[in-house]
Amino acid sequence: MKSIAVLGLGNMGAGMARRLLKAGYEVTVYNRTRERAEPLAADGATVAASPKQAAGHADMVIAMLADDNASRAAWTGDAGALAGVRPGTVLMDSSTLSVDWVRELAAASAALGCPFIEAPVTGSKPQAEAGELLFLAGGEPQTLDAVRPVLATMSRAIVHLGPVGSGATMKLVNNFLCGVQAASLAEALAVIENSGLNRDAAFDILANGAPGSPLVKGVGKRMTARDYRVHFALHLMLKDMTYAIAEGARNGVALKMGEAARDKFHAATAAGLGDKDFAAIAELNRQQ
């Protein structure tokens, strides 16, 4: 594979596209707002006017978009990527999506004679820029094998979880747990701050003790510093929690902790924090 199209140039998509350029691939990019594409054009990417145009000469199309609606808009319709692909082009969506939409997209790809892989990722902006993402792949093993060299330029590892839908399910489980941790950490820090404890000493105990997951350490530092430059936007965590709760229900599991955390993220979005890093959920308690 030589020619790769990348649809969506947010924090993640832009980092992925830049890694592909550095690896020597011919990269065509598309973003709904063209100005997000200009820095990549300066690095050697071709900027397309539509997803259809971006996909027209690509050996592989990768999408990294905000949600089901954005993914559907990029793939379908007269200007969508599916309208421009050639049979045999490998299609991959790395967005965090609902399982239902991922399976619908896979069926639409198959009808066009295009192998499909879903491969959402763990990691955020720094990992995308450094090529250290973890791909959670669902699809046919032979399709994944065909694109492993491409994914290797953007990742530290690639995990094949099973058929289409497996990657989306695992990503929603992952983000559900991350969202619950972040919401509970915000409340824990509020107790620490309101009680008069030395916050830095108390956080050091949390970060380096039993609760000290990588998320607690990283997000907690942003909460204590009140540094909400976006690694992963709060409104996207709200979306992921919503999808995860729906997927849990479909599998007969009521994610009660997820519902409580979702409500906190919803309140934070209503308070104007949606476009900040999801660590900004800590401000919700500070505003009370």
Active-site residue set = 171
Chain centre distance of CA 119: 10
Tell me, what amino acid is at 61? V
Q: Which residues share a beta bridge with 62? A: 6, 92
- Is the separation of the CB atoms in 232 and 124 below 8 Å? yes
Alpha carbon 17 to its chain centroid, in Å, reads: 14
Measured CA to CA, the distance from residue 60 to residue 116 in angstroms comes to 10
Contact (Cβ atoms closer than 8 angstroms) between residue 164 and residue 119:
no
CA distance 3 to 31: 17
DSSP symbols for 10-26: SHHHHHHHHHHHHTT-E
DSSP symbol at 81 = G
**272's tokens:** 């104007």
Angle, CA 144 vertex, CA 140 and CA 150 arms, to 5°: 160
